[in-house]
A and B are shown apart, each in its own frame.
Chain A
Amino acid sequence: MLADRVIFVCIIVLTAVYFYATAQIPTLEIGDPLGPKAFPRLLGIGLLIVAALLFMEIWRARKTPPEASPQPSGDRRHLTVIGVVVAGTAVYLGVFTLLGYVIATSIYLLALMAYFHPGKWTANILTAVLFCVLSYLMFTKLLGVSLPRGVLPF
């Protein structure tokens, strides 16, 4: 499988980066005999073993004939949708403190609902706004959790 080979390469890169970052940790020659680098080094060695095991798995899967592996249908539209959702969420987080919890979250929820629950405008607007206002009041006033107020006066 292609995915497994990609994972294999990722593990190798990650191991190299982790070993490099471990070497950068400053050490003082006092205190415990091992210092802060020993355990991470063990983990790095562990990663190398994992890479070897994964290589074995890939190798064995190669020898056995492909057992009717479900051919990817080539339809990748859902990945685009998920990508847009992730990007949208990042934008939402970007304006979270600026606009405040209630406004930012209402807009975010409405946008998602408009796409994933289309056509039902009344239900969507009611749910999004009521949820945001009620959860804001419940968490800030009752449970003492602070959420960004943003441009709202209360």
Chain B
Amino acid sequence: METLTHILNGFSVCLQPINLWYTFIGVFIGTIIGVLPGIGPSAGIALLIPVTYGMNPTSALIMMCGIYYGTKYGGSTTAILIKTPGEAASVMTTIDGYEMARKGRAGAALAVSAIGSFIAGTLGVVALTLFALPLASMALKFGPAEYFCLMLFAMTAVASLSGKSPAKGMFSTLLGLMIATIGIDLQSGQPRYTMGVAEFQDGVGFIVVVVGLFAMAEVLRGMEDVFKGVAAPMIRISGKLWLTKEEWKRSIGPIWRGGIIGFIIGVLPGAGGTIASILSYTTEKRLSKNPEEFGKGAIEGVAGPESANNSDTAGAMVPLLTLGVPGGGATAVLMGAFIMYGIQPGPLLFEKRPDLVWGLVDSMYIGNIMLLILNLPLIGLFVRLLYIPSGILYPLIVAISVIGSYAINGSMLDLYLVLFFGVVGYVFQKVDIPVAPLVLSLVLGGIMEQSFRQAMTISGADPAIFVKSSISVTLITLSVVSIALPFILPRLKEWKKGAESQES
């Protein structure tokens, strides 16, 4: 009953004309960012923060979230038509989506992505609505020690799941935490690692790091592709933007299953949209009666993953809003946006600002309807974006990044840092060091250190406080398991293989 009142109040917030307008702008920009390769949700949101500074926080956050889930709709278009994921999570769609397009079923592929995204996206928001309050009230019992352990778990999960090598993932996490220690220490007032530069006393801004790692690095990588001349030919939309009866029947199962897989993966820290869509793809392939069709234009291979990566965004909002701990790179940037507006996401927010939380959640229902319209009847407009030559697009992204980063403080140092982190991101990509863990731990670093020190102050510098409650013991165990598992699993497989070969 309480939830129902909140939902209704939320709609009274998000249906205000100004908020409807910002929902629309958010999902519109989100679709554009999704369609354009080379810029993703993280960079898009980070670049908008300085520009929207001073706006009403509710409207601004509604818009930023719109960008976040809107990109997942746009990403599939690029995947289907030019075999390039417009956004990382649509990578699975490049396989069967592009094949469908080559066979003249581009219209059907785009339609099933939009419809699947809508059904699964809405399903995800329903689940978010139902789970938010119970989880938030549970999280209210967390003290600083539990929070520290929760953040530790989020970071280790992201570190071990977001790349090929868990050691490199952890390295990325630690780098983020180390960057977060730069600046004046809030408790003692001592400057740390400022290297004598006055501007570093305020720390290294996360916007600068995100724009560098996600926009600038992506531009450098894209320019490399332009130089090498690698690009699949673009396919024009062919066929009606709708599904045949047969295609409907084949798609509906994958959409539901993808929606459920996506939401669960979204709630858990670490995995995120890309893994959700891979899981959905392999599930569909396993369940299919004709698995050999996968890779040759099976509609299930588009419907499932595209649904999964949309309900994943709703799932990922659950830990961000209820616990105040994001489980991945893009939600970490969203959390950074919350903090820039002076709003601390977490269980207390549900008590202090129910209008904001529920207005935001409800705006996601409306945003999904808007996205369905933008991405089905109006998709032709966005497809034109793909005609922009990369050689023009990438330089423009640099210019936009420069404006956005300069707008924060009008600081030249920030611009050089964007370039620096751009090079870092480019090199990291070459040597397989994932950057999502770095962003997550950079955003959480300050809070993590605070809760660590608060916990130690409470206990009188006795570290046993981190194993006092069952919650923190569970979380620490999970953290250790998530680090150790990637090392143990291959051993187990080898051992099993060895045992089997001995038996036979």
Contact = CB atoms under 8 A, between A and B. Distances in A.
Interface of A: 3-4, 6-7, 11, 18, 21-22, 25-28, 31-36, 38-40, 42-43, 46-47, 49-50, 53-54, 56-57, 77-78, 81-82, 85-86, 89-90, 93, 96-97, 101, 105, 108-109, 112-113, 115-118, 120, 123-124, 127-128, 131-132, 135, 139, 143, 145-147
B417 to A, nearest CB: 10
A118 B191 CA distance: 49
A66 to B, nearest CB: 16
A116 B397 CA distance: 14
A3 B390 CA distance: 29
Contacts of B489: none
B19 to A, nearest CB: 19
A13 to B, nearest CB: 13
A145 B188 contact: no
Contacts of A109: 395-396, 399
Given A96-B412, A117-B392, A132-B399, A28 B453 contact: no
B182 to A, nearest CB: 10
Given A54-B165, A90-B419, A131-B399, 17 more contacts: A7-B171, A25-B185, A31-B187, A34-B453, A39-B453, A40-B178, A46-B170, A47-B171, A47-B174, A49-B170, A81-B223, A82-B223, A86-B422, A105-B402, A117-B390, A117-B392, A139-B403
B291 interface: no
Of the candidates B167, B220, B389, B400, the one having the most CB atoms from chain A within 10 angstroms of its own CB is B167
Contacts of B226: 116
Given A82-B223, A139-B407, A93 B412 contact: yes
Nearest to A139: B403
A94 B235 CA distance: 42
B68 interface: no
Given A43-B177, A43-B181, A113-B392, A81 B187 contact: no
Nearest to A58: B167
Contacts of A117: 389-392
B168 interface: yes
A43 B395 CA distance: 37
A138 to B, nearest CB: 9
B178 A50 contact: no
Contact of B410 (A27, A131, A135, A146): A146
Nearest to A135: B403
A33 B457 contact: yes
Ordered nearest first, which 9 A-B pairs have the shortest CB separation? Answer: A117-B391, A116-B391, A53-B167, A36-B185, A112-B395, A54-B167, A145-B407, A33-B461, A3-B431
B372 to A, nearest CB: 30
B402 to A, nearest CB: 7
B187 A131 contact: no
A3 B171 contact: no
Given A82-B224, A86-B423, A132-B399, A43 B165 contact: no
Interface of B: 50-51, 165-168, 170-171, 174, 177-178, 181, 185, 187-188, 190-193, 220, 223-224, 226-228, 389-392, 394-396, 398-400, 402-403, 406-407, 410, 412, 415-416, 419, 422-423, 426, 430-433, 449, 452-453, 456-457, 460-461, 487
A86 B427 CA distance: 12
Contacts of A34: 452-453, 456-457, 461
A141 to B, nearest CB: 13
7 contacts: A3-B430, A34-B453, A50-B170, A50-B171, A127-B392, A145-B50, A145-B407
B403 A33 contact: no
Contacts of B431: 3-4, 6-7
Contacts of A78: 224, 227-228
A126 to B, nearest CB: 10
Nearest to B457: A32
A54 B433 CA distance: 12
B181 to A, nearest CB: 5
A77 to B, nearest CB: 8
Given A139-B407, A145-B403, A116 B390 contact: yes
A123 B392 contact: yes
Nearest to B388: A127
Contacts of B191: 25
A121 to B, nearest CB: 12
B395 A36 contact: no
B456 to A, nearest CB: 5
A19 to B, nearest CB: 11
Contacts of A139: 51, 403, 407
A124 B392 CA distance: 7
Contacts of A131: 396, 399
Nearest to B226: A116
Contact of A89 (B188, B396, B398): B398
A3 B460 CA distance: 44
Given A11-B171, A32-B453, A131-B396, A82 B433 contact: no
Contacts of B433: 7
B188 A28 contact: yes
B220 A82 contact: yes
Nearest to A123: B392
Given A27-B190, A116-B391, A117-B389, A81 B227 contact: yes
Contacts of B398: 89, 108, 112
A43 B419 contact: no
Contacts of B402: 93, 96, 105
Contacts of B452: 34, 39, 42
